[in-house]
Amino acid sequence: MLLQERLTQKIPAWREKVQFLRKEKAEVVIDHVHVRQVFGGMRGLKVLVSDISFVDPYKGIHFRGYTIPEILELLPKPGAGKMPYVGGLYWLLMTGDLPTEEEALSVEEEWRKRMTLPEWVKQVITAMPKDTHPMTLFSMAILAMQKESAFTRQYHAGLTKTEFWGPTLEDALTLTARIPVVAAFIYRYLYGDGTYIPPDPNLDWGANFAHMMGIDDERYQDLSRLYFILHSDHELGNASAHTAHLVASTLSDLYYAFSAAMNALAGPLHGLANQEALKWLDAAYKRYGGVPTPEQMEEYAWDTLNAGRVIPGFGHAVLRATDPRFKAFYDFGEKHLPEDDYFKMVQVAYEVIPRVLQEHGKAKNPWPNVDAVSGSLQRHFGVEPTFYTVLFGIGRSLGITAHGVWARAMMLPIERPKSLTVQRIEEAIQEAEAAVA
Ligand SMILES: CC(C)(COP(=O)(O)OP(=O)(O)OC[C@H]1O[C@@H](n2cnc3c(N)ncnc32)[C@H](O)[C@@H]1OP(=O)(O)O)[C@@H](O)C(=O)NCCC(=O)NCCS
């Protein structure tokens, strides 16, 4: 397998570098912990390491050093003017190198070989009531596949620490191969006509998802590739990636870890925000009987803020500028569906909301994030809003499994930060203040 060969070449040198840093530079201070961070969700605390991606507050996400526009330009594509193969992005995330077309297609081929869904997984899904949220079914279905983990099997048969990454890569490939299949199966169970569409071996990962959803439109194939690439990763500290990292640090396998990550993604402040953002636009559309004017959008935004609610799709914990993922989707909307009313609402919101949030004066970042636009594009193709978080999760499987393989390659230990009592924090504050007095 090409990917395994490339990682076998790369891992020893990287592992040596990490071991050197851990041993020889162990006492170097790179960050201080402030009281605001202890009480404030550890915001900005530099305590994790991963080379898969990095978020610059102003330029946004970099996948292995490449920005979104670079990724969309440089990765191999199925044809001129098309979005890149997701397999190429996965090669980049895993190896750090831009793939050749052959390398991108080798990942697509690995996925093709592994995409058959076990029957019992389908039974787990269809045993559940249809008013179950699709994220619940998604997380359960992933967990239902855990018994197939190569890592867990080989670990119990006897593996040394240096070998852990190999079967973790196996799990990563099988899991990511099946993720779009499982997701489309859930979609058709909950919202379809009860028929299931098997994967087409002639299609790539992104296009196949569109096919299995029953949306045979080349624009939706392209949107799927774009969607999964843009959602693939956002550093290791975000709630879902960090959840997976914590769980896998116990040497739980990637099935356990990714299922747990999806439970974190299901929260309204994280992956559910795309569904919330569309709901918010929907209510505006109903209230004004069509696309609101900029003045109406402003009034609507203030009503939301004055009611003590957040405007979904705006703001970010790390970003301090318009999210480049927003921009990439926005460009797609302008090219493929400029006449769509919901896309037009996104345009009006982009024009008005940042100024409103600035005047409101609370959000550190008044600019749109990826969720402000992604739902409007999915809605155009008839995809149910309650499914949007699953779409996010499909993409996130790429980054999370790549982090997982590399955490094993770097032989990172189990996570165990320290918690303090409020009294201990008060004492620490007194000690610090006495020291400077
Ligand atoms: C993403 C988000 C959770 C980041 O949270 P954060 O790091 O705490 O953000 P900030 O530091 O800017 O928050 C400071 C204040 O501004 C508020 N704020 C931030 N974004 C806001 C928004 N879009 N609308 C209204 N208020 C917002 C926060 O709620 C917070 O208020 P508080 O002091 O009363 O608790 C937040 O911006 C948000 O809730 N956005 C809307 C939901 C969303 O789009 N989520 C998807 C993110 S990819």
Q: How far is CA 37 from the centre of its chain?
A: 24
Task: Return phi, psi of residue 67, to 5°.
Answer: -75, 170
Strand order in the sheet with 53-56: 53-56, 60-63, 66-67
Query: Of all protein residues, whose CA lies closest to atom 17 belonging to ligand 1?
Result: 363
Looking at residue 105, what is its pLDDT? 98
In whole angstroms, give the CA distance from residue 298 to residue 317: 24
Q: What's the 269 CA to ligand 1 centre distance in angstroms?
A: 8
Cβ contact 233:53 at 8 Å: yes
Burial of 375 (0-12, 13-18, 19+ CB in 10 A): buried
**Can you say whether the dihedral through the CA atoms of 202, 206, 211, 213 is positive or negative?**
positive
In whole angstroms, give the CA distance from residue 348 to residue 298: 9
**Can you say whether the dihedral through the CA atoms of 18, 22, 26, 31 is positive or negative?**
positive
Q: Over the chain (437 residues), what is each successive 10-residue block's mean pLDDT?
A: 94 97 97 96 95 95 97 96 97 98 98 97 97 97 98 97 98 98 98 92 97 96 98 96 98 98 93 90 97 98 97 93 97 97 98 98 96 96 96 98 98 96 97 92
**Is residue 34 annotated as part of the catalytic site, yes or no?**
no
Q: Which amino acid is at 434?
A: A
pLDDT digits (tens, 9 = 90+) for 216-261: 899 999 999 999 999 999 999 999 999 999 999 999 999 999 999 9
Pocket test of ligand 1: the residue of 279, 316, 373 to mutate, having most ligand atoms within 8 Å of its CB, is 316
For residue 315, give the ligand 1 atom closest to its CA: 37
**Coil/strand/helix, residue 51:** coil
Pocket test of ligand 1: the residue of 235, 314, 392 to mutate, having most ligand atoms within 8 Å of its CB, is 314
Query: Of all protein residues, whose CA lies closest to atom 26 belonging to ligand 1?
Result: 310
pTM of the model: 0.95
Q: How far is CA 131 from the centre of its chain?
A: 25
Pocket test of ligand 1: the residue of 364, 367, 371 to mutate, having most ligand atoms within 8 Å of its CB, is 364
Q: What's the 323 CA to ligand 1 centre distance in angstroms?
A: 14
Looking at residue 9, what is its pLDDT? 97
Domains annotated on the chain, with CATH: 273-385 (1.10.230.10)
Cβ contact 398:233 at 8 Å: yes
Half-sphere exposure of 18 (CA within 13 A, CB side): 17
**Is residue 270 annotated as part of the catalytic site, yes or no?**
yes
CB atoms closer than 10 angstroms to residue 372: 30
**Coil/strand/helix, residue 25:** coil
Looking at residue 268, what is its pLDDT? 84
Looking at residue 317, what is its pLDDT? 86
- DSSP-derived secondary structure letter, 159: -
Looking at residue 437, what is its pLDDT? 85
In whole angstroms, give the CA distance from residue 161 to residue 11: 13
**Is residue 403 annotated as part of the catalytic site, yes or no?**
no
In whole angstroms, give the CA distance from residue 401 to residue 131: 29
Q: Which two tokens stand for residue 397?
A: 């499987």
Q: What's the 315 CA to ligand 1 centre distance in angstroms?
A: 5
CB of 50 within 6 A of ligand 1: the answer is: no
CB atoms closer than 10 angstroms to residue 361: 7
